[in-house]
């Protein structure tokens, strides 16, 4: 299957990228640092390990998606290998979707590896009973990273790596802080400003739905409806981004 071939080739190419191993190395270093630091906080070491461990999975996963993903499509255009690929013939939507799935597999490797390290550390500290809740939090982090990966591929198909990286990073930062946009409405009395902010708040992602780290750290109850709703929110947004990437790339002039 052509789609699977593109995904696997993208995965192999990304894994050979030195950036991937560098970020993975620093992720492990930060995991060790988290354990060392948490032991100095009497009575709260488990909370610190979980909090910093989940944060490491998310941050380094996002960095891998951004730094590896923003050049995926652009490199094919720059090397002109895209002409050989789409001349086979290959529908352009399969090319974009294959690139996305390949990069998503790379991010999944990071998530699984870092999760295994975190689970092992938690088990060694005698808190294995907290692993199921951790798994739920990691699932929602994976949903967030899947969306970031889609955005990286989207910008890679329409812009240069530098601009794609800046746009994707901005998307990630806005998604984590979009809740503050609501407060800006009350600070400005100009109607057009308030309307503009409300529109932006509606269009831009709100990652608060996917963030349950605080609930897991403090052992709060996780509602099934909340988990399902957050997952559906991420999948819907992801589908829109990938559809836009396919639509734009399908109309792109390859000459």
Q: What is the pLDDT of residues 60-84, one digit of tens each?
A: 889 888 888 877 777 766 666 666 6
The Cβ of residue 75 has, within 10 Å, a number of other Cβ atoms equal to: 14
Residue 83, pLDDT score: 61
Q: Which residues of the chain have pLDDT under 70?
A: 1, 17-21, 23, 26, 30-31, 33-44, 76-89, 179-194, 197, 201, 253-255
The total number of structural domains in the chain stands at 1
The dihedral of CA 90, 242, 56, 126: what is its sign? Answer: negative
Q: For residue range 101-145, what is the model confidence (pLDDT) as tens digits?
A: 988 998 998 898 888 888 888 888 777 888 888 999 999 999 999
| Residues near 85 by beta carbon (within 8 Å), at least 6 away in sequence | 6, 76, 95
Question: Does any domain span residue 29?
Answer: yes
Residue 253, pLDDT score: 64
Range of the domain at 115: 2-250
Question: Does any domain span residue 172?
Answer: yes
Question: Does any domain span residue 191?
Answer: yes
| DSSP one-letter code for 253 | -
- 76: which 2 tokens? 């094919």
- 219: which 2 tokens? 């052992």
Question: Does any domain span residue 220?
Answer: yes
Q: Dihedral (C-alpha) 221, 223, 224, 228: value to the nearest 10 degrees?
A: -120
Contact between 146 and 238 (Cβ < 8 Å): yes
Residue 56, pLDDT score: 86
Residue the block writes with tokens 């930060």: 30
Question: Does any domain span residue 19?
Answer: yes
Question: Does any domain span residue 255?
Answer: no
Question: Does any domain span residue 119?
Answer: yes
The Cβ of residue 72 has, within 10 Å, a number of other Cβ atoms equal to: 23
Contact between 219 and 133 (Cβ < 8 Å): yes
The Cβ of residue 33 has, within 10 Å, a number of other Cβ atoms equal to: 13
d(CA 186, CA 162): 35
Question: Does any domain span residue 27?
Answer: yes
The Cβ of residue 20 has, within 10 Å, a number of other Cβ atoms equal to: 19
């Amino acid at each position: 299957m052509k789609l699977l071939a593109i995904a696997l080739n993208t995965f192999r190419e990304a894994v050979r990228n030195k950036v991937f191993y560098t970020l993975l190395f620093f992720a492990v270093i930060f995991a060790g640092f988290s354990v060392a630091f948490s032991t100095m906080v009497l009575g709260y070491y488990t909370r610190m390990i979980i909090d910093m461990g989940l944060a490491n999975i998310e941050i380094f996963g996002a960095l891998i998606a951004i730094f590896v993903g923003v050049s995926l499509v652009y490199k094919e255009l720059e090397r002109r290998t895209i002409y050989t690929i789409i001349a086979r013939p290959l529908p352009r939507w399969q090319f974009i979707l294959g690139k996305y799935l390949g990069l998503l597999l790379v991010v999944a490797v990071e998530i699984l590896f870092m999760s295994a390290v975190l689970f092992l550390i938690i088990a060694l500290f005698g808190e294995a009973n907290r692993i199921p809740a951790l798994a739920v939090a990691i699932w929602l982090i994976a949903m967030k990273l899947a969306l970031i990966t889609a955005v990286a591929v989207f910008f890679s198909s329409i812009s240069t790596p530098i601009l794609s990286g800046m746009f994707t990073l901005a998307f990630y930062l806005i998604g984590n802080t979009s809740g503050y946009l609501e407060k800006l409405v009350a600070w400005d009395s100009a109607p057009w400003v308030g309307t503009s902010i409300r529109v932006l708040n509606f269009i831009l992602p709100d990652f608060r739905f996917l963030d349950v780290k605080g609930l897991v750290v403090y052992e709060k109850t996780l509602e099934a409806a909340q988990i399902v709703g957050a997952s559906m929110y991420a999948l819907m947004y992801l589908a829109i981004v990938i559809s836009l990437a396919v639509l734009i790339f399908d109309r792109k002039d390859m000459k």
